[in-house]
Structures are given as structure tokens and as C-alpha cells.
Chains A and B, each alone.
Chain A
């Protein structure tokens, strides 16, 4: 089952396309990392997915319904980048606010989370630390009991300890509820071990969309003599290529089985950060699932 489907999705602001030809589908229960440089269109894509923006062309569906309709809104929670909370409200008042606006609200879950986090319910939101404010905002989003939780840069402006705590809380919520999460970030190291699906967005286009484990298994870093590099590049798709006079280092999409190469080449696996950086450096490279026939 797919939770989020974009088809030929595009958004234009005046004369600039923030997002163009975006097609992807995200299976249920995934924790999706949406990565890309600043201005790549991440926030635009997220805003389209939750219905805060309407597309210029194409469409986006959430749980089989068009995004932003009365059927989908109760099932989707969105936490914006600036984590909007009312500074003058107490934490308890923020929860009351959430309870009144959301039909599926789970007050027990919200109170339990705050107790575990040792955030006093009578404290004014404005008096909390940045990490605590992020946790209150996340608690409200989770207590909505969404099927899809969308987080725009949830870890921005947090110190390393607070980042770890927020991720811990998020992963625990996923373990309990099985909801699908889409979160954007440009700090890739925060996403390793937590996300299991990767979407790379670059210059308004989707470069990569796929299962992280499968993607990592398909990519390798090849190092060998520079004069043989062109031969290798003719046989396997090379994403990133850096050469000195004698040595070439190629990050290639070799597929699940490593190709037989001249013994002068060494080959090793890549980590998430290396793979993402290679794609970001080469906006024209793409790794997308082969098109499949739509099921009726």
C-alpha cells in the first residue's frame, strides 16, 4: 500500500519552477528521509503533500485521496520548520488546543510523553528550551494519531543531544503506531539508522527514491588507475567521478552484484552520506525505480 503518491507534480512561483516533473510513491510504514540542498524544493513538496499549497501541474495523493481534502486532513499531521507553538500558552493549554482541533486526539498518549520527557504541563511554552519546544510540538503531532506524519527540518536549530532525544521519541512513536513518517533534513548523518527510505530532491527534481538498504547495496566506490576509468564508466553508471593524474575514484551504481573488474581496481561499499553527496554533486544523475504499470 502506498501512503503518498505524486504524479507529474509541479509547482511554479511566478516564473520559477520550485518543483517539476515530480513522480514518486512511498509505501506505508516507512520512515522517509527527504534530502537535498537549500532551495531544492523540499518544503514545497511537503507543503503540497499536506495540502498547504496546490499544485501548478500534476497531483499528489495521500492514502489514495487528493492531498488537503476533508478526508485526508485528519489522517495527516504536519510540523512546520519553525515549530509553531503559542508562546503565551501553557503546555497543558497547547494540548487542549490540539484536543479541540483533532478528532482522533489521544490525550493519554500526549500526557504520557510529556511525563516521560519531564516537561511540566503548567510551564509556559515560551519558557521551555528549544529542545523541549520541539518535543512539545512533536507530541502534539503524534497525539493527533496520524497515518502520515510530515516533519519539515525537525532537527534544525537543535543541539546534538536534543537531536538524539527528538529522534528517539520519534522512533518510539513509530514503533508504537506503525505510522508513515516523511522528514526533511540536510544533515544526512542524523538520518542514518533512523530512516529506511530515501528521496533526494535537487533543483526541483527527484533524483533518487528508494529503499535505503537496497540503494546502498547497489552502489559501490571503485578506485583504480585513471587510464582505465573511462572503460569502467562505459560499463556501469557512474554517479560521481573524481580523478587525479593516476588515480580515479568512481561512485558507481553497480547493481546488486559487483561487476568483474580488472584486478587493479578496488571496490568497497558506501555509506548513506557518501551516496547522497555523490548524487547532490551530479544533479543530472538519477536513480529511480523502473516504471511499473499502475494497478487498477
Chain B
């Protein structure tokens, strides 16, 4: 469950601070699809802010398709932001830099690498379409 904080001196509207914190949590993988956001009462009980502010933030997130309210149950995360998790990103980056070192050692320059990478990406997605 996300734990909202307020930066009262920041000059950023309170509802926007809540929106930003949810998006940040989505990018970091701290919130995943299916997770429930705290109810307005739970947020209000912690931060001592107007419940309408929380509802406004949730409406904004709903408008962007990130969360959906289910009457009587709560507000749930619909999708994530920024692809795979942080650990997956780190693993893929390691593997890719190994491949780049390998390619350079046999004499490919930066443009060769980019062209090769783009071609492989293109092929990969085309294969995906054929089998779909």
C-alpha cells in the first residue's frame, strides 16, 4: 500500500502531489496492477487533509487510465508505468552492455551497432505479429 506524504511548503497543489506520488510508485514498481489505493478516509486520517482533495487526485488518475474505482470496494491500479521492473531493467542493461562490448571487439562502430539493434528489434516485433 502506498504511503502518501505532503510537502506543505512546495507550492505544488496537494492533489497533484498525491497524483505524482502514485505515478512515481508505479514507475518504481512499488504499486502494481490490482493493488488497492488507500481509501479517502485512510489518507485523510493520516495527512489531515480535505477528503475532496484525495477524491480529486483519484479522479485525475482515473482519467489517465492508471486506476479504476470499483464501487464499494475501492480504487485499484489498472496498469503500470515505464515497462518492466527496476531489477529487470538492470539485468537487461547488463546483458546488453556485454553484447555491445562483444560487437565492438570484432570491429563494429556505433552506427553499425544501432543499425543492427534496430534491425533485430524490427524482426522481433514482426515475428510477434505473424504468430499472433
List the interface of chain A (C-beta within 8 A of B). 29, 31, 164, 167-168, 171-172, 174-176, 192-196, 213, 269, 271
Residue of B nearest to A163 (CB): B48
Output the least CB separation between A68 and chain B (Å): 28
Residue of A nearest to B40 (CB): A175
Are A172 and B45 interface neighbours, CB within 8 A? yes
- Assembly CA distance A216 to B68 (angstroms): 30
Question: In the complex, what residues of A have CB within 8 A of residue B54's CB?
Answer: 175
List the interface of chain B (C-beta within 8 A of A). 6, 8, 11, 13-14, 39-41, 44-54
Output the least CB separation between A25 and chain B (Å): 18
Are B48 and A171 interface neighbours, CB within 8 A? yes
- Assembly CA distance A269 to B47 (angstroms): 24
Are B41 and A193 interface neighbours, CB within 8 A? no
Are B41 and A194 interface neighbours, CB within 8 A? no
Could you write out 24 A-B pairs with CB less than 8 Å apart? A29-B52, A31-B50, A164-B48, A167-B48, A168-B47, A168-B48, A171-B44, A171-B48, A171-B51, A172-B41, A172-B44, A172-B45, A174-B51, A175-B41, A175-B45, A175-B51, A176-B41, A193-B48, A193-B49, A193-B50, A193-B53, A196-B53, A269-B11, A271-B11
Closest 5 CB pairs of A and B: A175-B51, A168-B48, A175-B41, A171-B44, A167-B48
Q: How many A-B residue pairs have CB under 8 A?
A: 49
Are B52 and A196 interface neighbours, CB within 8 A? yes
Output the least CB separation between A254 and chain B (Å): 18
Are B51 and A193 interface neighbours, CB within 8 A? no
On whether A194 and B50 interact (CB within 8 A), knowing A175-B40, A269-B11, the answer reads yes
Are B49 and A171 interface neighbours, CB within 8 A? yes
Question: In the complex, what residues of A have CB within 8 A of residue B11's CB?
Answer: 269, 271
Are A193 and B8 interface neighbours, CB within 8 A? yes
Residue of B nearest to A116 (CB): B45
- Assembly CA distance A269 to B50 (angstroms): 21
Output the least CB separation between A275 and chain B (Å): 14
- Assembly CA distance A167 to B50 (angstroms): 9
- Assembly CA distance A213 to B53 (angstroms): 11
A29, A195, A213, A269: residue with the most chain B Cβ atoms closer than 10 Å:
A213
Question: In the complex, what residues of A have CB within 8 A of residue B48's CB?
Answer: 164, 167-168, 171, 193-194
Which one, B40, B45, B52, B53, contacts A168 given CB within 8 A?
Answer: B45
Question: In the complex, what residues of A have CB within 8 A of residue B40's CB?
Answer: 175
- Assembly CA distance A255 to B6 (angstroms): 28
Are A174 and B45 interface neighbours, CB within 8 A? no
Question: In the complex, what residues of A have CB within 8 A of residue B44's CB?
Answer: 168, 171-172, 174-175
Residue of A nearest to B51 (CB): A175
Question: In the complex, what residues of A have CB within 8 A of residue B13's CB?
Answer: 213
Output the least CB separation between B10 and chain A (Å): 11
Which one, A167, A172, A175, A193, contacts B14 given CB within 8 A?
Answer: A193
Residue of A nearest to B45 (CB): A172
- Assembly CA distance A166 to B77 (angstroms): 31
Question: In the complex, what residues of B have CB within 8 A of residue A31's CB?
Answer: 50, 52
Are B6 and A171 interface neighbours, CB within 8 A? no
- Assembly CA distance A271 to B10 (angstroms): 11
Residue of A nearest to B41 (CB): A175
Question: In the complex, what residues of B have CB within 8 A of residue A164's CB?
Answer: 48
